A = this chain, B = another copy of it.
């Protein structure tokens, strides 16, 4: 066991790893582009000069929001997802609109997908959902003191229901593996850690 173990006083936040020198890009082939997503095939140059193929998906950055009511309960949405066909519990989330600030997008997605508005919005740690294949990044927030302000405002491809859960129920949903959406699992666990 190292000197700085679980029982030590105030361990410091460890440093990030020393960065590797980035690959060079020998050339880049555009496979697809649309307003919604893109795909390119880069030929990268390694440190020894060798060239390798690297596919990169292009997806606009997103927000994810944990909506918390004044009594501490958490609002989830039961959402249908076409790619895998399941309906499961998630949190409000979506892409940033053109020129939109992440906090503004968080309030908008919260409003559209739950009908709630947050009196306070605080950042949670953000994340790269699949950094082996895309630079797509998610900004996460907790929306505190949420109040119901109106009906849902959904696109016609969005199918969802809204339900509130206690913290204990959120813990059970997580630990039983029922929060299969990564955006929801990460953000809910960060919130449970921060508010415990």
- State whether A55 and B80 are in contact (beta carbons under 8 Å apart), knowing that A46-B157, A182-B186, A190-B174 are contacts in the complex: no
Residues of chain B with a CB closer than 8 A to A1's CB: 71-73
Encoded as 1 (CB less than 8 Å from any B CB) or 0, chain A from 45 to 89 comes to 010101011111101000000000001110000111111111111
Contact call B17/A125, Cβ cutoff below 8 A: no
- State whether A84 and B8 are in contact (beta carbons under 8 Å apart), knowing that A13-B173, A174-B190, A189-B193 are contacts in the complex: no
Contact call A193/B166, Cβ cutoff below 8 A: no
- State whether A156 and B52 are in contact (beta carbons under 8 Å apart), knowing that A11-B169, A13-B178, A185-B127 are contacts in the complex: yes
Question: Which chain B residue lies CB-closest to A81?
Answer: B131
Residues of chain B with a CB closer than 8 A to A42's CB: 82
Q: A67-119: which residues lie under 8 A (CB-CB) from chain B?
A: 71-73, 78-89, 93
A17 to B85, CA, bound (A): 13
Contact call B127/A181, Cβ cutoff below 8 A: yes
A182 to B93, CA, bound (A): 15
A80 to B181, CA, bound (A): 25
Residues of chain B with a CB closer than 8 A to A122's CB: none
Q: A39 → chain B, closest Cβ, in Å?
A: 5
Asked if A159 is at the interface (CB within 8 A of a chain B CB), the reply is yes
Q: Which of B13, B59, B73, B168 lies in contact with A130, CB distance below 8 A?
A: B59
Contact call A137/B22, Cβ cutoff below 8 A: no
Q: A163-182: which residues lie under 8 A (CB-CB) from chain B?
A: 163-169, 171-182
Residues of chain B with a CB closer than 8 A to A165's CB: 14
A190 to B193, CA, bound (A): 11
A-B contact pairs, 21 of them (CB 8 A): A1-B72, A4-B169, A6-B167, A16-B78, A17-B161, A18-B87, A20-B80, A32-B32, A39-B57, A44-B157, A50-B156, A52-B156, A59-B130, A83-B131, A83-B135, A126-B177, A126-B180, A127-B181, A128-B181, A129-B129, A185-B190
